[in-house]
Amino acid sequence: MSDSGSSILRGIGSYVPSIKVDNNELSKKVDTSDEWIRSRTGIKERRYAAEDENTSDLALKASQRAIDMAGVSPEEIDLVLVATITPDMAFPSTACLLQHKLGIPQVACFDLEAACSGFLYALDVADGMLSSGRYKCALVVGAEKLSSIMDWEDRTTCVLFGDGAGAAILTKTGKGAEMLGFQCGADGSNPSLLHQPAGGSALPASTETILARGHFLKMNGREIFKSAVRVMERASRELLSHHGIDISEVNHVIPHQANARIVESLSQRLEIPLDKFFCNLHKYGNTSAASIPIALDEAFKAEKFRKDDLGLLVAFGAGLTWSSALVRF
Ligand code: UT7
């Protein structure tokens, strides 16, 4: 649990690639149906990046929009953090590639890997670094090209995910939404619930790993579903209680956009009405680390937030990881 030194969310921006594929189109390629995908997940369509459009390119466009909204210049940014599980390459970091593309000075840049919880983890880390007084202006990005690790022969996973990016500018001064605090946690006891088995030091790339389709995302959806609801409820309740805030005071919930049924279960368990939850997963599917910043940006642009409204952001992902944040708009 961390109490924020009240970092200010000065700007937010997002970008989704232009290739749009709806469930009917997908069912021409995969043994599935619009009815199955919609009823089990709420997803209607998703976006895919072009072959030559990398995670850093998606991050670039989202970052430019966040920078514009914040009214800062790239020269003022002294920290770049990218949350992703689909970096352009294992190294160097996507944050370094993004720094160069944006013309940001030679400042600290690194990637953070906490899967779908990654953006809130990255905000928490950036908030701590700003609070140390050693950094003044952070660019925090969640960006994914999940289509690059999707197994088109596994219908239980490939229909769920999409590509996109969201970005935020965080400072200690200026006008914007106030980050009140964060909670991040993890349980590494069962990593194979959601993982990409091959390509790391445990199982380096080989002909066998390719033939075994080990470089694709693998998931036990049913188990992840159960854990997701449990850990998101916990991350929400613990953070609210730490800040002495009653659940009834929450005006908006921006949950990780994975499955409409997960959101409904969370709404019931937290006893927060569903109409306080912002959802756009029907348009984009699950974009992992990009899901919360894309949703936050769309809710901002749709003028969902009034001054002083309280927002709860909450996510879960591979690890298992979870994270939550409170924001005063
Ligand atoms: O960011 C974190 C990422 N992960 C998640 O959020 C995933 C969380 N889990 C889920 O969202 C759900 O578990 C899924 C959407 C993945 C699956 O829904 P489910 O209700 O748990 O379905 P299931 O896995 O129990 O499968 C039910 C049936 C199976 O057929 P049988 O064995 O009952 O005959 C599957 O083979 O649905 C079948 N099935 C499909 N049918 C058509 C699985 N995928 C598909 C598909 N199209 N794409």
Query: Is 215 an annotated catalytic residue?
Result: no
Is 190 part of a structural domain of the chain? yes
36 C-beta closer than 6 A to ligand 1: yes
Whole domain around residue 121: which residue ranges? 7-176
How does strand 8-15 pair with strand 177-186?
antiparallel
116 C-beta closer than 6 A to ligand 1: yes
Which residues face 311 on adjacent strands?
252, 327
Q: How far is CA 318 from the centre of its chain?
A: 12
Is 285 part of a structural domain of the chain? no
* Catalytically annotated residue among 116, 137, 158, 184: 116
Residue 275 carries which DSSP code?
A: G
* Alpha helical stretches, state H, the chain: 23-26, 34-41, 55-70, 94-102, 118-131, 155-158, 207-211, 221-242, 260-270, 281-284, 291-301
Is 1 part of a structural domain of the chain? no
The predicted structure's pLDDT at residue 6: 82
For the stretch 288-326, pLDDT in tens is 999 999 999 999 999 999 999 999 999 999 999 999 999
Q: State whether 49 and 148 are in the same domain.
A: yes
Q: State whether 190 and 306 are in the same domain.
A: yes
Atom 43 of ligand 1, residue of closest alpha carbon:
156
Is the distance from CB of 278 to CB of 299 less than 8 angstroms? yes
Final residue of a structural domain among 176, 200, 230:
176
Q: State whether 145 and 168 are in the same domain.
A: yes
Check whether 214 has a pLDDT greater than 60: yes
Q: State whether 36 and 129 are in the same domain.
A: yes
The predicted structure's pLDDT at residue 5: 61
Final residue of a structural domain among 149, 176, 203:
176
33 Cα to the center of ligand 1, angstroms: 12
Which atom of ligand 1 is found nearest the CA of 318? 2
The residue to mutate among 156, 223, 323, having the most atoms of ligand 1 within 8 angstroms of its beta carbon, is 156
Share of the chain above pLDDT 70, in %: 98
Q: Using pLDDT thresholds of 50, 70 and 90, give the confidence band for residue 2.
A: low
The CATH number of the domain holding residue 34 is 3.40.47.10
For the stretch 216-262, pLDDT in tens is 999 999 999 999 999 999 999 999 999 999 999 999 999 999 999 99
Q: State whether 199 and 256 are in the same domain.
A: yes
Q: State whether 273 and 172 are in the same domain.
A: no
Query: Is 116 an annotated catalytic residue?
Result: yes
222 Cα to the center of ligand 1, angstroms: 7
Q: Using pLDDT thresholds of 50, 70 and 90, give the confidence band for residue 170.
A: very high
For the stretch 276-288, pLDDT in tens is 999 999 999 999 9
For the stretch 94-150, pLDDT in tens is 999 999 999 999 999 999 999 999 999 999 999 999 999 999 999 999 999 999 999
Kindly report the average pLDDT of the chain as a whole number.
97
Q: State whether 163 and 215 are in the same domain.
A: no
Structural domain tally of the chain? 2
How does strand 252-255 pair with strand 79-83?
unpaired
| Over residues 174-181, mean pLDDT | 95
219 Cα to the center of ligand 1, angstroms: 10
Q: State whether 73 and 184 are in the same domain.
A: no
Residue 161 carries which DSSP code?
A: B
| Over residues 176-204, mean pLDDT | 97
For the stretch 27-45, pLDDT in tens is 999 999 999 999 999 999 9
259 C-beta closer than 6 A to ligand 1: yes
Q: State whether 29 and 125 are in the same domain.
A: yes
Query: Is 286 an annotated catalytic residue?
Result: yes
Final residue of a structural domain among 176, 209, 230:
176
8 C-beta closer than 6 A to ligand 1: no
Q: State whether 170 and 316 are in the same domain.
A: no
Check whether 3 has a pLDDT greater than 60: no
Is 117 part of a structural domain of the chain? yes
Check whether 4 has a pLDDT greater than 60: no
Share of the chain above pLDDT 90, in %: 98
Q: State whether 197 and 150 are in the same domain.
A: no
Choose among 164, 126, 162: nearest CA to 142. 164
